[in-house]
Amino acid sequence: MSKMSEIFGSNVFSITVMKERLPKDTFKALKKTIELGEALAPEVADVVASAMKDWAVEKGATHYTHWFQPMTGKTAEKHDSFIEPAGDGKVIMEFSGKQLIQCEPDASSFPNCGLRATFEARGYTAWDATSPAFMKDDTLCIPTAFCAYTGEALDKKTPLLRSMQALSKQAVRILRLFGDTTTHSVTSTVGPEQEYFLIDKKLYQERKDLIFTGRTLFGAMPPKGQELDDHYFGSIKERISAFMKDIDVELWKLGITSKTKHNEVAPAQHEMAPVFTTTNIATDHNQLVMDTMVKIANRHDLVCLLHEKPFAGVNGSGKHNNWSIATESANLFAPGSTPHENAQFLTFLVATIAAVDKYAPLLRMSAANAGNDHRLGANEAPPAIISIFLGEQLNDIIEQIKDGSLTSSKEAATMDLGVTTLPDLPKDVTDRNRTSPFAFTGNRFEFRMVGSAQSISGPNIVLNTILADALCEIADELENATDFRSALSTKLEQLVKKHYKVIFNGDGYNEDWVVEAEKRGLPNIKTTVEALAVFSDDDVIALFGKHGVFTKEECLARQEIMYEEYAKTINIEALVSVDMAQKEILPAVMDYIASVADSMNAINAAVPSAPVGTQEKIVIKLSELLELAQVNLDKLRIEIDAAIAKEEISELAHDFIFKVFEAMKALRTPCDELETLVAVAYWPFPTYGDLLFRV
């Protein structure tokens, strides 16, 4: 491996590269755009574009692409070469400021739900200068936002940037109240831990369910699963290690700070975590991480499964979204060392508690997809109930605030908010709580519900927006207060009292918690379809509208897209289930039954006195299960047809979860039992044992 200093960021048109290659004035203008969001003059864009092209061409690029994130949750790219005819049968390499700033891909074939009719295909991608351009596969990739002709966002980046802007605005208002007159922007930061499975490519190719849906739709448990806890942090196999080394290098080249790697709980499951960065860049990076993992795995004759639940019976994969907010110099979720800063920290802390409680269903929705429904609430991932873990010491402080131990008179004293304990707190104020969906971990919150295959954009849009809203409410009240300190104290106490119910430091996997949470009035939203309803609630539409994150039309369009995506996912799974059962499992079972029956006949003919009870038992048992499988298969077909016939999208999605999905499970049960009874040689595809342990 060459030197890290040569590798890291070598494929990124970074600030350093810009500084080296751009004229001073251009660099300054561009930096202003990046840091303060000022518009870039066309002449400046031309200079930047030309420098970018030269840099990329030197690295072997022939093409450029506006790289964007449509609502599929994946990334999209259409490549254009730099070549322009030069008139004499030759070409020159050209790239203008206009081409850098804006492109016009056809928007009609991306999910847009009414925001674009097919005949009105115009959509625009616009350069996001805050996320650096990079080289991938001989192509200069320019991170862009994607919107409709009419300006509505059609992607995951635009609203994320809007939510960051909203949060910045409100957080700065709070900082002003605490006497900070110099901070002009606050950013949210994210470090997403990415879990994934690696399996052998040859075995993968023999399973239609994995190929078409990313998860197994059939499969009996092997004799060994994850019960020995021997995989978590276990020694990494050479083949996996080779993949991980490659991943590190490829990510480092892209300027992605791949930092931590280890084996996860389930066999064949692993994790990678980068160092956190600004949410927008972290989101772009996470898309690249997923993309790169899939590609590099292929190089190693492996397949990377990013699905939230590739295998029943062992842990699925999530994405812990470590989230904080920071000024250029300070993390606002870090408990400070002076009373003044502590009060500020407590304001942000209490605002977060209030936001998460008030908008729990929205936060739950942000982590909802068909894959994640298998995890949330299934005793391996956080429960579907949103609660906050604070850890012992912060919890104690919050309780003090709630119990009114902080009166306004007390507040005027040196330790205004009565939290003199805080400066003495050791850095790590919290123990870990693996079961909490939203845990304070010392200087950030870890939102643990996010699914492994999801874009982290959605969850962070919600986190940023709901916090912006809570901060806005506080700022509105306190900006007009005559006595800021006492007003702050009163406000925090009022908020803590109102939202205390969301704090839970116990075991989220315990059955009692479900009962307790219900008593507290905390929502327990079990499925994606139920979770999605919140996107059309008046208060949610008002929230997004107020902070300029989504218009009402955008909320409704997104809701519809998510219903549709859900229904389509289950539909594909159901069709693959039918296909595999009908064309692979049932014929295999029939063959095996026939061979057992043949052997019975042969024995009867050859040695009439020999016992054939074993064969008989097998034939009877298998035939019964076969019949049950066939009955359930027919039922599944009927449910699919009935669901598809529904016209209203939310009804259709409801049918898919409550009828089709249930029918799929009913078909799986006898099939999985058959797998345990049929001779290995007859079973038509690799088993869980093969997939999880033969890597």
Which region among 26-34, 231-239, 267-275, 462-470 touches Mg ion (by CB under 5 A)?
A: 267-275
Please report whether residue 331 would count as binding ligand ADP according to CB under 6 A. yes
Instruction: Tell me which of Mg ion, ligand ADP, none is bound by residue 389, counting a contact when its beta carbon lies within the kind-specific cut-off of 5 to 8 angstroms.
Output: none
Instruction: Tell me which of ligand ADP, Mg ion, none is bound by residue 191, counting a contact when its beta carbon lies within the kind-specific cut-off of 5 to 8 angstroms.
Output: ligand ADP
Please report whether residue 460 would count as binding ligand ADP according to CB under 6 A. no
What the block records as the tokens of 552 is 């009402």
Which region among 161-169, 191-199, 363-371, 422-430 touches Mg ion (by CB under 5 A)?
A: 191-199
Residue 452 three-state SS: coil
- Identify residue 123 by its one-letter amino acid code: G
CB 222 within 8 A of CB 687: yes
Q: CB under 8 Å to 384, separation ≥6 — which residues?
A: 364, 376, 377, 524, 525, 526
The C-alpha atoms of residue 39 and residue 640 are separated, in whole angstroms, by: 51
The C-alpha atoms of residue 475 and residue 171 are separated, in whole angstroms, by: 9
Cβ proximity to ligand ADP, 260 vs 379, nearer residue: 260
- Identify residue 303 by its one-letter amino acid code: V
Please report whether residue 352 would count as binding ligand ADP according to CB under 6 A. no
Please report whether residue 278 would count as binding ligand ADP according to CB under 6 A. no
What the block records as the tokens of 227 is 């019960």
The residue within the footprint of ligand ADP, chosen from 214, 274, 310, 459 (CB under 6 A), is 274
Please report whether residue 191 would count as binding ligand ADP according to CB under 6 A. yes
Q: Which of residues 409-448 bind ligand ADP (CB under 6 A)?
A: 443-444
Measuring CA to CA, how many Å separate 563 from each of 2, 463, 541, 663? 48, 21, 17, 19
The residue within the footprint of Mg ion, chosen from 46, 128, 155, 193 (CB under 5 A), is 193
What the block records as the tokens of 163 is 């939510």
Buried b (16+ CB within 10 A) or exposed e, 619-641: beebeebbebbeebbeebbebbe
Which region among 186-194, 322-330, 457-465, 541-549 touches Mg ion (by CB under 5 A)?
A: 186-194
Please report whether residue 33 would count as binding ligand ADP according to CB under 6 A. no
Instruction: Tell me which of Mg ion, ligand ADP, none is bound by residue 189, counting a contact when its beta carbon lies within the kind-specific cut-off of 5 to 8 angstroms.
Output: ligand ADP
Cβ proximity to ligand ADP, 278 vs 405, nearer residue: 278
**Contact flags string 87-126 toward Mg ion, x per CB under 5 A:** ----------------------------------------
Please report whether residue 324 would count as binding ligand ADP according to CB under 6 A. yes
If one counts every other C-beta atom within 10 angstroms of the C-beta of residue 434, the result is: 12
Q: Indicate the pairing of strand 438-440 with strand 388-389.
A: parallel
CB 383 within 8 A of CB 515: no
Which region among 79-87, 190-198, 529-537, 642-650 touches ligand ADP (by CB under 6 A)?
A: 190-198
Please report whether residue 260 would count as binding ligand ADP according to CB under 6 A. yes
Residue with tokens 């019975």, as numbered in its chain:
600
Cβ proximity to ligand ADP, 213 vs 443, nearer residue: 443
Q: How far is the CB of 341 from ligand ADP (least distance, A)?
A: 16
Which region among 76-84, 189-197, 611-619, 658-666 touches ligand ADP (by CB under 6 A)?
A: 189-197
The C-alpha atoms of residue 326 and residue 314 are separated, in whole angstroms, by: 37
Please report whether residue 193 would count as binding ligand ADP according to CB under 6 A. yes
Residue 300 three-state SS: coil
Name the CA dihedral angle for 364, 368, 372, 376, rounded to a multiple of 10 degrees.
20
Q: Which residues bind Mg ion (CB under 5 A)?
A: 193, 273
Query: Which residues are near ligand ADP by CB under 6 A?
Result: 189-191, 193, 260, 273-276, 322-324, 331, 443-444
